[in-house]
Amino acid sequence: IELERSHYSDHEIRKLEEEEQLRRRKESAYDDDEAPGKTVIMAQDLEDKWEQKLLRFQAAPRITDADKNNNRTSLDRRLDSNLMLLVKQKIGNQELWLLPQAEWQPGETLRSTAERAMATFFGDRIQAKILGNAPYGIYKYKFPRAIRTENNVGAKVFFFKAFLQSSDLSQAELKEDYLWVAKDELGDYLKLEYLKKVNRFLLD
Amino acid sequence: RNYFPCRAQPKKKKKVDVKREQAQKDRMKKKIKKLEKAAPEMVPIEDFTTPLKYSDSNRVRSLPPLSFEETERRVLLMKKWCLFKQKQDKAEKKAIQTLVEAQQEALKELRLESEELYQAAIRRDEGLFPFEREGPNYTPPLPGYDPPEGKCVDITKVYTQ
């Protein structure tokens, strides 16, 4: 409590006065002039009552069960940091852990591609707010020589950011393996070059 | 009904009456306009004036003076806090800088790919603002918690003209 730059509040003045009265009563051996029914509830009693109520209240723990089990598929895990969704996808002939991506079809904007990617992985009933029309980061890579044609030398992956609105994912059906991962745990799953580019636009 | 012989005089009275009434009306209107012009009174902001009951002398606390060690501890703590905050601020600014750089790079690459997509990406997102998000809580919400009911009475004073 701020003691140095404050004055006494109403409650504290009431408490002090009642203490004074009690002291005076004890010293001058029972003054029955003041009607005994006057101060039925003392300020001290109120404080005790409030203290009891506080002790009875138990807040939910910050470290949940999912933390103890290290269950990386649940959203209840690290409640103090942001979690990112990683999905296992098949690119070429490799199965990789990636941020969910979908190929761009000509005739749609990049943002609608991102929305389509979300719909494929979550089903239609997911609410996520995409922040802005512009991409946040880019990762480009060249295809291995076997697949390269004259026009397609490699691919560019543009990243968008979206906030999940509802944390109720029981309705959504995620088809493949998925993980909710914090920023420092990304290194366990992503490849080095990809990780370097992704880390640039992700804040913890 | 009696029809008295009418003369010029009563007619004059009527005209003068009408004129007088019009003059009276104009004067009243002018007075009303003056009052309305002088009307805007300043509404007193009740947070800027401390109510008198809080400046009583019996409210002042009597605390023992601070010891030397305590003042020293406070000064050193303040210095450490300043340093910590400076580092935190620099880290935040650096993070924002990398964010912006990454986005610029992405937009440059996109432009190299296709101009049309670039134009679509640069456009303003209308649905973004007003942006709402729940603030961070210290503890997660208790499942099945029933908050105690209470009544809230609004006692703000409303000033009308």
Using only the alpha carbons of chain A, give its radius of gyration: 31
Q: Which stretches of B38-159 are DSSP H helices?
A: 68-113, 115-122
Q: Which of A13, A62, A138 sits opposite B105 (nearest CB)?
A: A138
Contacts of B92 in chain A (CB under 8 A): none
Q: What pLDDT shows up at residue A125?
A: 59
List chain A residues with CB under 8 Å of B134. Answer: none
Per the model's pLDDT, the better-predicted residue between B21 and A178 turns out to be B21
Contact assignment for A133 to B113 by CB distance below 8 Å: no
Give, in order, the Cα–Cα distances in Å from B153 to each of B65, B147, B150. Answer: 42, 18, 10
Strand residue runs (E) in A94-136: 94-98, 128-130
**What's the mean pLDDT in B144-156?**
85
Region A96-112 average pLDDT: 84
Q: Which domains does chain A have, with CATH numbers?
A: 3-56 (no CATH), 65-200 (3.90.79.10)
Nearest-angstrom CA–CA distance, A121 and A176: 8
User: Quick one: pLDDT at residue A188?
Assistant: 83
The tens digit of pLDDT for each residue in B9-52 reads 555 567 778 888 999 999 999 998 888 887 677 777 777 888 78
Do A190 and A97 contact (CB within 8 A), yes or no? yes
pLDDT band at A30 (very low <50, low <70, confident <90, very high): low
C-alpha pair distances (Å), B44 with each of B41, B47, B157, B159, B160: 9, 9, 10, 9, 12
The pLDDT tens digits for B98-119 are: 999 999 999 998 898 888 889 8
Q: Is the pTM of this model over 0.80?
A: no
pLDDT tens digits for range A54-94: 999 888 888 877 777 787 777 778 888 888 888 888 877 78
pLDDT in tens, B114-147: 888 898 888 888 888 888 888 788 888 888 888 8
Residue A38's pLDDT is 57
**Contact yes or no for A133 and B133 at CB 8 A:** no
Percent of chain A with pLDDT over 70: 87
Sheet with A94-98, edge to edge strand ranges: A94-98, A83-91, A178-182
The answer, for A196 touching chain B at a CB cutoff of 8 Å, is no
For residues A164-168, average pLDDT: 70
Q: Judge whether A133 and A142 are in contact, CB under 8 Å.
A: no
How confident is the model at residue B81, as a pLDDT?
A: 97
Q: Does A112 touch chain B (CB under 8 A)?
A: no
- Residue B77, pLDDT score: 97
Nearest CA distance, A58 vs chain B (angstrom): 9
Q: Work out whether the CA dihedral B149, B151, B156, B161 comes out positive or negative.
A: positive
Burial class (CB in 10 A: 0-12, 13-18, 19+), B102: buried
- Residues β-bridged to residue A142: A154
CB neighbour list of residue A184: distance below 8 Å, 6 or more residues apart: A204
Q: What are the pLDDT digits (tens) for B42-93?
A: 777 777 888 788 877 777 888 888 899 999 999 999 999 999 999 999 999 9
Question: What is chain A's mean pLDDT, rounded?
Answer: 80
**Residue A201 reports pLDDT greater than 70:** yes
